[in-house]
């Protein structure tokens, strides 16, 4: 029987992961449990409130109870510095199982069906982004770049998500941090991180039937072969400058009438646009007798009146392309942008403060806190998909800032026995009709 995707279920998963963390402290100085440090930090990200724990400590002192305990399961509330010290030695990978468990529950409950697209595939978008930069603060896991005599330290990572055309949500998956690798002289990079991610998780997501999306950086033979090795498919942006042999073959085949092409007219308000599709199967991704054969397609969009090219892009894929499938493949390929619009941009501009330095530490603190922030984003997304009360409130309080302002204000001044108690209080005071499945 499938589990409900409620707040308590999600917190149970996080409690499970945080409850088995390796104890790194020696001696008897264990006043605060590692689990309290994890849950405390998570509560700050989930509530989007840097002062949440301080407010709950005040409530505890004055009223004898607090929402950090009732909502998030803390036993005691550590200070910010205590949380940082406790989490710094812990690798973020200890929490990665939560991402897998959440996506499994979404699949079991049928919630991933809304994300299935061409050939019933899930689209997994790989993309790299930076989340920390400083000319002074750094740790052993920082990458760096030097301009003249000035060095900048930074953190980047791959943020895989499940995305779908026409779906405003994305499902965050296990991240892969771009950090110096043991035994490697060169700095880590997005390509190497993507290969590690595929090696670690590719087989699992192949079981869910998936196609990997990415920009031109990932459209190279070693990475494409890794995708296929893991029984996944790919649709990667494929640019002429980085694939000269492929485009030479396309030009040769086109000159001999072997590149298929057709156009369609689409009305866009006051003007029409001409969509032109070109495609061909079995062209070499690179030079050499061992070149991987891929299928190639291109979309160009032209303003009918002015003749100006509004958009042009091309992709390489292992999906066979035909006139009946090229539009769906192109639509899937264009979905890559959702990792920027619905994931990275939301994390950076909508209250998660993705690029803010919450604490850098000397070992793993930056990556651990970043992972908790991603889990907070994932939990809110899942609740918005599957929790009837949460969805009702988000429809009523459709401005994200309003919703979180209300959460922060209510939990600062009022005590709630549970998350459901908080949701019921908000629904009642907003004069909303509770959902039928509210129990």
Assess whether pLDDT exceeds 70 at residue 28.
no
**pLDDT(84) > 80:** yes
Tell me, what's the pLDDT at 31? 80
Write out the DSSP string of 236-287.
EE--TTT-HHHHHHHHHHHHTT-SEEEEEEEEETTEEEEEEEEEEEEEESSS
The values of phi and psi at residue 47, to 5°, are -85, -5
Longest Cα–Cα distance in the chain = 82
pLDDT at position 269, please? 82
Reply yes or no on whether the pLDDT at 2 is more than 60: no
Model confidence band, residue 185 (pLDDT cutoffs 50, 70, 90): very low
pTM of the complete model: 0.92
Q: What is the pLDDT of residue 143?
A: 83
Quick one: average pLDDT of 265-294? Answer: 95
pLDDT at residue 241 tops 60:
yes
pLDDT at position 425 over 90 = yes
The pLDDT, as a whole number, for residue 188 is 65
pLDDT band (50, 70, 90) for residue 171: very high
Higher pLDDT, 359 or 213: 213
Residue 117 has pLDDT above 80, yes or no: yes
Cβ burial, residue 183 (10 Å; 0-12/13-18/19+): exposed
- The rounded radius of gyration (Å) of the Cα atoms in the chain is 24
Lowest average pLDDT, out of 184-193, 224-233, 384-393, goes to 184-193
Percentage of the chain exceeding pLDDT 70 = 95
User: Residues 235-251, buried b or exposed e (16+ Cβ, 10 A)?
Assistant: bbbbeeeebeebbebbe
Residue 439 has pLDDT above 80, yes or no: no
DSSP 388: H
Predicted local confidence at residue 130, as pLDDT = 87
pLDDT surpassing 50 at residue 183:
no
Evaluate whether 374 touches 172 at the Cβ level (below 8 Å). yes
pLDDT at 410 over 90: yes
- Element at 143 (helix H, strand E): strand 143-147
Mean per-residue pLDDT for 407-436? Answer: 96
- Taking only the tens place, the pLDDT of each residue in 46-60 is 999 999 999 999 999
Q: Pick the residue with more confidence: 138 or 210?
A: 210
Looking at the predicted structure, is the pLDDT value of residue 217 above 70? yes
* Cβ pair 370, 364 in contact under 8 A: no
Which residues 6+ apart lie within 8 Å of 286 measured at CB? Answer: 220, 221, 243, 245, 246, 292
Residue 41 predicted with pLDDT over 60: yes
Q: State mean pLDDT over 236-245.
A: 97
**What is the mean predicted confidence (pLDDT) over 228-254?**
98
Is residue 148 scored above 90 in pLDDT?
no
Across residues 182-192, what is the average pLDDT?
A: 65
Q: What is the pLDDT of residues 366-378, one digit of tens each?
A: 999 999 999 999 9
pLDDT of amino acid 184: 47
Buried b / exposed e along 209-225 (16+ C-beta atoms within 10 A) = ebbbbbbbbbbbeebbe
pLDDT at 206: 96
Q: In this structure, are strands 309-317 and 293-303 parallel, antiparallel, or unpaired? A: antiparallel
């Amino acid at each position: 029987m499938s589990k409900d995707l409620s707040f308590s279920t999600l917190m149970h998963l996080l409690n499970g992961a945080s409850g088995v963390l390796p104890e790194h402290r020696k001696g008897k100085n264990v006043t605060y449990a590692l689990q309290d440090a994890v849950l405390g930090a998570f509560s700050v990200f989930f509530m989007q409130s840097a002062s949440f724990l301080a407010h709950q400590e005040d409530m505890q002192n004055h009223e004898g109870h607090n929402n950090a305990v009732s909502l998030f399961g803390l036993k005691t509330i550590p200070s910010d510095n205590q949380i940082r010290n406790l989490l710094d030695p812990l690798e973020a990978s200890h929490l990665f199982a939560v991402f897998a468990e959440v996506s499994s529950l979404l699949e079991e409950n049928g919630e991933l069906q809304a994300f299935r697209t061409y050939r019933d595939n899930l689209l997994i978008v790989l993309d790299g982004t930076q989340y920390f930069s400083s000319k002074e603060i750094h740790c052993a896991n920082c990458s760096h770049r030097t301009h003249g005599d000035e060095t900048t330290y930074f953190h980047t990572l791959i943020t895989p998500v499940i995305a779908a055309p026409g779906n405003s949500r994305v499902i965050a998956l296990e991240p892969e941090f771009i950090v110096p690798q043991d035994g490697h002289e060169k700095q880590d990079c997005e390509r190497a991180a993507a290969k590690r991610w595929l090696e670690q998780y590719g087989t699992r997501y192949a079981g869910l039937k998936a196609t990997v999306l990415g920009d031109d950086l990932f459209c190279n033979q070693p990475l494409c072969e890794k995708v296929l090795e893991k029984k996944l498919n790919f649709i990667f942006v494929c640019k002429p400058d980085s694939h000269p042999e492929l485009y030479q073959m396309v030009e040769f085949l086109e000159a001999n009438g072997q590149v298929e092409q057709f156009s369609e007219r689409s009305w866009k308000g006051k003007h029409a646009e001409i969509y032109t599709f070109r495609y061909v199967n079995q062209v070499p991704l690179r030079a050499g007798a061992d070149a991987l054969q891929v299928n190639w397609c291109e979309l160009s969009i032209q303003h009918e009146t002015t003749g100006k090219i509004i958009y042009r892009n091309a992709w390489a894929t292992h999906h066979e392309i035909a006139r009946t499938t090229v539009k769906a493949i192109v639509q899937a390929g264009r979905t890559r942008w959702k990792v920027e619009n619905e994931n990275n941009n939301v994390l950076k501009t909508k209250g998660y403060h993705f690029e803010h330095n919450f604490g850098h530490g000397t070992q793993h603190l930056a990556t651990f806190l970043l992972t908790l922030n991603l889990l907070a984003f994932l939990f809110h997304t899942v609740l918005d998909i599957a929790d009837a009360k949460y969805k009702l409130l988000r429809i009523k309080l459709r401005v994200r800032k309003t919703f979180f302002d209300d959460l922060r204000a209510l939990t600062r001044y009022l005590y709630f026995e549970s998350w459901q108690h908080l949701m019921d209080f908000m629904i009642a005071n907003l004069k909303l009709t509770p959902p039928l499945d509210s129990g």
